[in-house]
Amino acid sequence: MAVEEEYLDVLTKTGEKTGISKPRGHVHRDGDYHRAVHVWIFSESTQELLLQRRADCKDSWPGLWDISSAGHISAGDSSLVTARRELDEELGVTLPKDAFELIFVFLQECVINDGNFINNEFNDVYLVTTLAPIPPEAFTLQETEVSAVKYISWKEYEKILASEDPDYVPYDMRGEYAQLFNILSKRYSNDMDRSLILQKQLDRYAPICINTELTGVSEADRGALAVLIEAAMVIDEVFYLQVWYGNPALRDWLKEHSDISNLDKLKWMYYSINKSPWSCLDENEAFLTTADSAVKLLEKSTKAVPGWKGLEYKVAFPMIKPPGANFYPTDMDKKEFELWKSSLKDDQQQAATGFFDVIRRHSESILDASIGSETLSSAQQVVGSPHDLYSVPFSLEYKPLLIKAVELLKKAGDLTDTPSLERLLKGKADAFLSNDYYDSDIAWMELDSKLDVTLGPYETYEDTLFGYKATFEAYIGIRDEEATSKIKLFGDHLQVLEQNLPFDDSYKSKDVVAAPIRVMQLIYNAGDVKGPQTVAFNLPNDERIVKERGTSMVMMKNVSEAKFKHILQPIARTCITEEQREYIDFESFFTHTICHECCHGIGPHAITLPSGQKSSVRLELQELHSALEEAKADIVGLWALRFFIKQDLLPKSLLKSMYVSFLAGCFRSIRFGLEEAHG
């Protein structure tokens, strides 16, 4: 029986899919651009790369030594799934996705076989880091692809390629492929240099001690508080998983090994601030590498070998932070998502673009099931689906953790003697199970409690691919009644601000709801609270609630005071001219923060497109929304302050100080990095 020829997706010269697929032979005959994967297995203890000898029957580079494993990405397939499958088929090595690190992509353009084989190939290059070499007897070689394997020092292999040894498949060492050897060289460099760099990065943060008084908190609420902190710790676990699927393993490994050396201590300290291997203040540049990561043992990833306990590998993470975090498959691009979304019914589209669902792959689920992973969701949905993507609600994706949080929230709800707090906690527990957060967010807006609690999935900053998906967070504090009463003015005048905004009246809402503003003294936070700490937030982000009920704002006064003292004032001494420094004061800083948060609630949210379709600003701006929304709130906040001063609602003494304090605050925000929305 004839073997059916593989089809490949034809790409543009810049690597975008054209929508055309052709037989593999025609692609290489016509010189079409296409995509493939390269997988390198690297033994850390011996500093060796695994090479395979290509079978003599191959139509390109027969009988030559080459990459550990490689293969074309078939039409409709994804990169990471192909990498895993090729390694299994060619070498008999079955690995989970957290073993694969995408280190770079390079374009190979060459012509061989007397002009009959044109290779215009984008290659996704993956690195699998094992602790030691895999025994030769453990491999199961695919005879039609591979005739032999061997390990070789990466430095020796680099020299072989540079000398253009005819027994090895050539790669241009003056071009992009040299990155492989540069990465390995840098990865295992001087620890002293790394310690100095990490210490400098740590020194940019000012540690503070929070000692919030519990005056006025009932005994019942004090009991609830202890349980709520436990629930917040569970929320923290969910957030780590949302950032990257290998993040929890990395965290536990760094913590466990933090007392081995000064470098290990610094790694753990800086990781604890960023909650990931990517530095918030450095455009999300990685400060760790896979070499620093956790070790996992797989006993059945290859053929069994007597006396060998199995394959030990490093949990991998990419040097470039994935824009979709762990909300989407890492190898999914926007075009694939949009094609899938267009095939869905309206309610399914809402889930795909909504706050509370993750996107997964059927093909990845099948692979995971084949190695006994328990991290799968709805693998059975594969049957009959024409698309590889599917959505999974948070309530299912994070079910084991959310069930723990639910139990704690219900317990805290039973302990409190404040009715509105009990309603919030039990409503949030229900939402964690149902994936419907509407009622619990209404309960949060109506909270009237000395114990102030915000807990759940809210902000979308982590999703820089689309800005759709919300991360879990928790803020627990004590309501500052005196400070809250002083700032009631701002929330009560939102409709006035809306009607006076300097743009066309057709975009203005005539039913802006006054925003309740609560000031609290923070006790504990968790979840999406990485890097520079926030001083305030304006929630919820659900456009339905914003339209019907407006938003509510929470200010954390003790955090604001700490930021002003430890961050803003030192920055002002450096960046603000001497004669204007007298205008830097906490009142102006705090007042603009209030206005910034209030102004999130005004201006267009729900919109009608030219086609007549109903949408929202968030959905249309996608990944640009977070940064533009923060810029809007900054500038409209300044405008609002000036408006209040002109209306004699605020003292004229604020006029100069608000601008100078804002300028100093800009230098503070820029330190967050240009990849961060506020920066």
Q: What is the C-alpha to C-alpha distance for residues 99 and 84, in angstroms, rounded to an integer? A: 9
User: Is 559 in contact with 520 (CB distance < 8 Å)?
Assistant: no
Amino acid at 532: P
Q: What is the C-alpha to C-alpha distance for residues 530 and 533, in angstroms, rounded to an integer? A: 7
Residue boundaries of the structural domains of the chain: 7-188
Instruction: Give the residue with greater pLDDT, 134 vs 620.
Output: 134
Segment 463-474 shows an average pLDDT of 97
Segment 384-401 shows an average pLDDT of 90
Return contacts of 433-439, CB within 8 angstroms, 24+ apart: 433/395, 433/402, 433/403, 433/406, 434/395, 435/356, 435/357, 435/393, 435/394, 435/395, 435/396, 437/355, 437/356, 437/540, 437/542, 438/542, 438/544, 438/545
Residue 432 pLDDT level (bands cut at 50, 70, 90): very high
- The pLDDT of residue 677 is above 80: no
* pLDDT given for residue 384 in this prediction: 42
* pLDDT given for residue 559 in this prediction: 95
The pair phi, psi for residue 69, each rounded to 5°, is -155, 145
Matching residue, tokens 């590498």: 289
- The pLDDT of residue 1 is above 70: no
- The pLDDT of residue 378 is above 50: no
Number of residues written out for the chain: 679
Q: What is the C-alpha to C-alpha distance for residues 124 and 106, in angstroms, rounded to an integer? A: 7
Residue 626: in which H helix or E strand, if any?
helix 625-646
- The pLDDT of residue 380 is above 60: no
* pLDDT given for residue 516 in this prediction: 81
Segment 246-268 shows an average pLDDT of 97
Of all residues in the chain, the percent with pLDDT exceeding 90 is 66
Distances in Å between the Cα of 440 and the Cα atoms of 472, 522, 625, 661 are 14, 21, 25, 36
User: Is 53 in contact with 65 (CB distance < 8 Å)?
Assistant: yes
Closest to 238 in 3D by CA, of 275, 273, 269? 275
- The pLDDT of residue 74 is above 50: yes
Please provide the DSSP assignment of 442-480 as one string: HHHHT---SEEEEEEE---TT-TTTS-PPPEEEEEEEE-
- The pLDDT of residue 368 is above 50: yes
* pLDDT given for residue 377 in this prediction: 40
* pLDDT given for residue 374 in this prediction: 41
- The pLDDT of residue 269 is above 50: yes
Matching residue, tokens 């494993």: 69
Taking the mean position of all CA atoms in its chain, how far away is CA 639? Answer: 33
Segment 508-524 shows an average pLDDT of 85
* pLDDT given for residue 383 in this prediction: 39
Residue 372 pLDDT level (bands cut at 50, 70, 90): low
Q: Which residues contact 487 (CB under 8 A, 6 or more apart)?
A: 517, 519, 555, 594
pLDDT digits (tens, 9 = 90+) for 10-50: 999 999 888 899 999 999 999 999 999 999 999 999 999 99
Segment 352-371 shows an average pLDDT of 92
Residue 82: in which H helix or E strand, if any?
helix 79-91
Closest to 570 in 3D by CA, of 205, 24, 250? 205
Give the end-to-end CA distance of the chain in Å, rounded to a whole number. Answer: 61
- The pLDDT of residue 388 is above 90: yes
- The superfamily (CATH) of domain 7-188 is Nucleoside Triphosphate Pyrophosphohydrolase (3.90.79.10)
User: Is 173 in contact with 161 (CB distance < 8 Å)?
Assistant: yes
Instruction: Give the residue with greater pLDDT, 460 vs 653.
Output: 460
Q: Which residues contact 485 (CB under 8 A, 6 or more apart)?
A: none
pLDDT digits (tens, 9 = 90+) for 91-114: 999 999 999 999 999 998 888 887
Residue 373 pLDDT level (bands cut at 50, 70, 90): very low
Matching residue, tokens 């932070």: 321
Instruction: Give the residue with greater pLDDT, 229 vs 582.
Output: 229
pLDDT digits (tens, 9 = 90+) for 304-325: 999 999 999 999 999 999 999 9
Q: Which two tokens stand for residue 137?
A: 């007897």
pLDDT digits (tens, 9 = 90+) for 182-223: 999 999 977 778 999 999 999 999 999 998 999 999 999 999
* pLDDT given for residue 111 in this prediction: 87
pLDDT digits (tens, 9 = 90+) for 618-675: 888 988 888 898 898 889 888 988 998 999 888 888 888 888 888 888 888 887 777 7
Give the pairing of strands 33-43 and 48-54: antiparallel
Segment 73-101 shows an average pLDDT of 96
Please provide the DSSP assignment of 44-65 as one string: TTTTEEEEEEEPTT-SSSTT-E
* pLDDT given for residue 376 in this prediction: 36
Q: For the chain, what is the mean pLDDT?
A: 91
Amino acid at 47: Q
Q: What is the 3-state secondary structure (H, E, C) of 287-320?
A: CCCHHHCCEEEECCCCCCCCCCCCEEEECCCCCE
Segment 541-560 shows an average pLDDT of 89
